[in-house]
A and B are shown apart, each in its own frame.
Chain A
């Protein structure tokens, strides 16, 4: 017995030594890009970029391309997508997948040193910052070849330049826009008309009260759920309510913060008020978006604001990383975000493609970019990534594919992107931090929730943002 356990112990120790050697990697730089409108799932294991997919045989030109994990098998999916392009142009494309959490650091380092890829993916809100660093190739003279501004949604096109500068530094690739997923069975059982429910804020709140606690299969379903502060969407979740109330993230001249305006306060109070009125199961407030998604899939609450990727997930079985077997998949529909007193708005983000101006193959990179915003590649990649293709002309095809994409296209029209200024990233970080404090107030875990208390936090957010804008 003793001998046996000693042998086993030794074996275990050896295993641990081996495991321990590879265990202490730091998790790299910080987090989800501010406002990338980024991925639907949290960054997975580690942040090391994966090695390039295809080693370049000598003689052929090789393009370097950096992307973020947009699909479940990001690298293979992209390489497969690019096969026709590589064959046609007799070129190799080395795809490097960078995790969202380290992407910003890697891209700024590349922009600073000049050692970067030819073509790269940028979260929509990163474009002005990287462009202001002088790292992106101006594309204004060429965009007519892909249809120019008219080929894309206005909120998308808003993110390809720096506010106040007409030059174009990127091209929209795919779109992340938010709408309301809701449970048809819950609405039906509670006798609530969805059309009426998502009309405006008033009718929305009334409907939520009506459906709250409706029992499905003997289990009460809460009205609505959304993540609070431990998330990468903190600002994206709050801002549509600020916009709906007539508020804005920045003043009209984009020089100072407007997050502490009366209207902004109104929006924040309405959104957090849903929690205070008992319509949100409190536990969801500490979850991140992907945990909250899972809670909606399994029927914890009946309304959930999210991006288009869940439509694709609801068509795929679990073996393909889908959720077709979950209760929500069989009983859901998508509705617009309810209209606020000052209009209907939703978060509009996504990713753009840009060419580094240190690229030695700018012409070829432009061809690659053109290929990626071409109809076929757009359709195929949008489907794989669960995002909307940026090309407007594909709307009918996507809606034909799944009618639940319809409300997202509608959302793309009333969606709003953040002010396209180089300092937006830092400002969003400041807002995120203070919105987190508001979530703590709302959940009742620190301080006392009141209009004055929330206003005070928003004042601090504005102060911090102003000092960032004035540097």
Chain B
């Protein structure tokens, strides 16, 4: 399948791109270990041998298609040259120039709107997901009857396939018949009249909430696991020293959770920037246009590539997005590198 840049799983690729694959230690492991000189080939021989097949596989399914995608971005690859594929006319940076600087290029206008929406969407989704997950994890990190059951039930949204989430929520958002307007307007009387959710500026909310709904349980489970590794005596000691609940949270819980938060922050940013399924299923099953407030980058790129058959532009836009994401990962790494190093 052509245009693989957008197909290879970004969530797997991005951390490796920042070169932290071999240093990442998992969540909350701060205990020090005897230091081993780096590059000790002999001691690690078995480990390298075990990793090799997976590494080769990753090269095959990620790196090769990715390089192919980069190559495509320099070609005039459209419906007439598609059959020549990588033999299509080479146009250098023309695709990039058109996307970035050509005001007459309609592709560019669409991408700008999608980029704005993606920025808002990703920020809000990431903040809401992390906040909800953290809040609920704190609540669930106590002993009470039926805790295991409640905890498991909370995972439910996460197991619903994302395209089903899209279809389900599209029914819930319907103006006249949807449950959301029924609750907001008919039952709670919060709004004077039923608003449209799947048309106009409200579409942004209509795609944010289902995404958060599906994403938070996984983060919650990770946070809960991390919370349970915090030794109870830390809290006891702090309490004896007179620390209140807020101070205990601020000075014990939060610092101990930082590694988990760091990883989840990165994953959420990456996942929401590359969001696709839910949005596509909510607006005409992929053939509609989500509108000026619902169009996201991946969807715009997919439309350019597979519906308008401008594969060269699509690949160039994908590469630009990938570079931008590498920048985000690098920034993230600078901020959180301390959390990721074994001390």
Chain A interfacial positions (CB closer than 8 Å to B): 1-2, 5-6, 8-10, 12-13, 16, 19-20, 22-27, 29-34, 42-43, 46, 101, 104-105, 108-109, 111-112, 129, 132-135, 228-232, 234, 281-283, 285-288, 291, 422-423, 425-426, 429-430, 432-433, 436-437, 439-440, 443, 445-446, 460, 463-464, 467-468, 471
- Of chain A, the residue at the smallest CB distance from B158 is A20
B85 touches A112 (CB 8 A): yes
Stretch at the interface among B22-30, B64-72, B144-152: B144-152
Distance in Å: Cβ of A316 to nearest Cβ of chain B: 24
Is B159 in contact with chain A by the CB < 8 A criterion? Answer: yes
CA distance A234 to B85 in the complex (A): 31
Q: Please, which residues of chain A bring their CB within 8 A of the CB of B247?
A: none
From 109 to 165 in chain B, residues with beta carbon under 8 angstroms from any chain A beta carbon are 110, 145-149, 151-153, 155-156, 158-163
| Residue in A1, A16, A229 whose beta carbon sits within 8 Å of that of B289 in the complex | A229
B277 touches A432 (CB 8 A): no
Q: Please, which residues of chain A bring their CB within 8 A of the CB of B147?
A: 5
Is B216 in contact with chain A by the CB < 8 A criterion? Answer: no
The 9 closest A-B pairs by CB, nearest first: A31-B286, A445-B200, A9-B148, A32-B287, A283-B176, A31-B287, A464-B106, A232-B287, A426-B308
Distance in Å: Cβ of B194 to nearest Cβ of chain A: 8
B106 touches A426 (CB 8 A): no
CA distance A183 to B126 in the complex (A): 49
A446 touches B200 (CB 8 A): yes
A134-B83, A230-B283, A283-B175 are contacts. A429–B161 as well, Cβ < 8 Å? no
Q: Please, which residues of chain A bring their CB within 8 A of the CB of B302?
A: 29-30
Stretch at the interface among B54-62, B74-82, B236-244, B324-332: B74-82
CA distance A446 to B198 in the complex (A): 12
| Residue in A101, A108, A468 whose beta carbon sits within 8 Å of that of B82 in the complex | A108
CA distance A101 to B281 in the complex (A): 11
B83 touches A111 (CB 8 A): yes
B105 touches A467 (CB 8 A): yes
A31 touches B307 (CB 8 A): yes
Can you name 4 extra interface pairs (CB under 8 A) apart from A8-B148, A230-B282?
A16-B159, A29-B302, A30-B287, A132-B80
Number of chain B residues whose Cβ lies closer than 8 Å to a Cβ of chain A: 65
From B161, B170, B174, B299, residue with most partner A Cβ within 10 Å: B161
| Interface 0/1 of B1-22, CB less than 8 Å to A | 1100000000000000000000
CA distance A24 to B9 in the complex (A): 12
A25-B161, A231-B287, A467-B104 are contacts. A109–B175 as well, Cβ < 8 Å? no
- Of chain A, the residue at the smallest CB distance from B286 is A31
Distance in Å: Cβ of B110 to nearest Cβ of chain A: 8
Distance in Å: Cβ of A298 to nearest Cβ of chain B: 10
A286 touches B198 (CB 8 A): yes
Q: Please, which residues of chain A bring their CB within 8 A of the CB of B299?
A: 30
Distance in Å: Cβ of B2 to nearest Cβ of chain A: 7
CA distance A205 to B56 in the complex (A): 67
A32 touches B285 (CB 8 A): yes
B198 touches A5 (CB 8 A): no
For this complex, 9 residue pairs linking A to B, each with C-beta atoms less than 8 Å apart, are: A16-B155, A20-B158, A23-B161, A31-B285, A228-B199, A231-B287, A283-B176, A286-B198, A467-B106
B149 touches A229 (CB 8 A): no
What's the dominant secondary structure at chain A's contact region? helix
Is B248 in contact with chain A by the CB < 8 A criterion? Answer: no
Distance in Å: Cβ of A419 to nearest Cβ of chain B: 15
Distance in Å: Cβ of A463 to nearest Cβ of chain B: 6
A286 touches B277 (CB 8 A): no
A10-B148, A230-B284, A426-B308 are contacts. A436–B289 as well, Cβ < 8 Å? yes
From A282, A433, A439, A468, residue with most partner B Cβ within 10 Å: A433
A27 touches B201 (CB 8 A): no
A5 touches B155 (CB 8 A): no
CA distance A33 to B286 in the complex (A): 9
| Residue in B170, B177, B281, B284 whose beta carbon sits within 8 Å of that of A32 in the complex | B284
Q: Please, which residues of chain A bring their CB within 8 A of the CB of B145?
A: 1-2, 5
A8-B149, A31-B286, A422-B80 are contacts. A443–B280 as well, Cβ < 8 Å? no
CA distance A254 to B82 in the complex (A): 22
Q: Please, which residues of chain A bring their CB within 8 A of the CB of B303?
A: 30, 429, 433
Q: Please, which residues of chain B bring their CB within 8 A of the CB of A446?
A: 199-201, 291-293
Distance in Å: Cβ of B176 to nearest Cβ of chain A: 3
Distance in Å: Cβ of A301 to nearest Cβ of chain B: 12
A104 touches B79 (CB 8 A): no
| Residue in B80, B160, B196, B288 whose beta carbon sits within 8 Å of that of A232 in the complex | B288
| Residue in A104, A111, A129, A443 whose beta carbon sits within 8 Å of that of B306 in the complex | A104
A5-B148, A422-B79 are contacts. A23–B159 as well, Cβ < 8 Å? yes
CA distance A463 to B281 in the complex (A): 28
CA distance A10 to B147 in the complex (A): 12
Distance in Å: Cβ of B313 to nearest Cβ of chain A: 10
CA distance A446 to B307 in the complex (A): 26
CA distance A32 to B283 in the complex (A): 11
Q: Please, which residues of chain B bring their CB within 8 A of the CB of A13?
A: 152, 155
Q: Please, which residues of chain B bring their CB within 8 A of the CB of A443?
A: 196, 199-200
